Structures are given as C-alpha cells and as structure tokens.
Amino acid sequence: MNIYIILTLIIFWIISFIGVFYYLYKYYLRNNLAYDFWNFFSKQMTFGKVAFQILINRKNSHQRESKILTLLYVINILVLFLMIWSIAIYQE
C-alpha cells in the first residue's frame, strides 16, 4: 500500500472533521442552542448528544443540516476505518 494513499485519507478525514464541526456549529445556532462561538463550547448539549439527537432521534427542524451532518458522520467513520486498515496493510 502506498504512503500517499494513507496521507490522502488522513487529509480527507481532517477536512470532513472540519465540515462536521462547521455544520454542528450551524445546527447549534439555528436551534438556539448557542448564541455565539464561546457559548457554543459552554452549553450542556455536547457533540455526542447532538449527534445522537440528529442520527437516532431525528428531533430537529432543519432537515438540510441534519442530512449533511449524517453524511459527514458516515464519511468520517468510513475514512477512519480505511485509515486504520491501510496503515495495518502498510505495516505488513
């Protein structure tokens, strides 16, 4: 396995993680869970709770953001598994 494939997966994972962070912040603002950037970090609603709310309970009023967030969560998980798998193959 080529090292460039591993580096590409790492870069793609970082970009998709930033996308998740951006859309979660947008989701917080639209649902009045945070009013500014600093309040975003000090609320009781954590990333895990919001992810559970979006992916499992589907209790939200903004379908576009939740579809994008669901897609980005799935992409993050898949790329993370591909990175682990490709590093394991590269080590052999």
Provide the number of structural domains found in the chain.
Answer: 1
Instruction: Please compute Rg for the chain using Cα positions.
Output: 16
Phi-psi region of 43 (alpha: psi -120 to 50; beta: other; left: phi over 0): beta
SS (H, E, C) 28-67: HHHCCCCCCHHHHHHCCCCHHHHHHHHHHHCCCCCHHHHH
Reading the chain (92 residues) residue by residue, the pLDDT tens digits are 577 877 888 888 888 888 877 877 777 777 666 665 555 555 566 666 666 666 666 655 567 777 777 788 888 888 888 878 877 776 66
Q: Which domain holds residue 34?
A: 3-91
Would you say the pTM of this structure is higher than 0.85? Answer: no
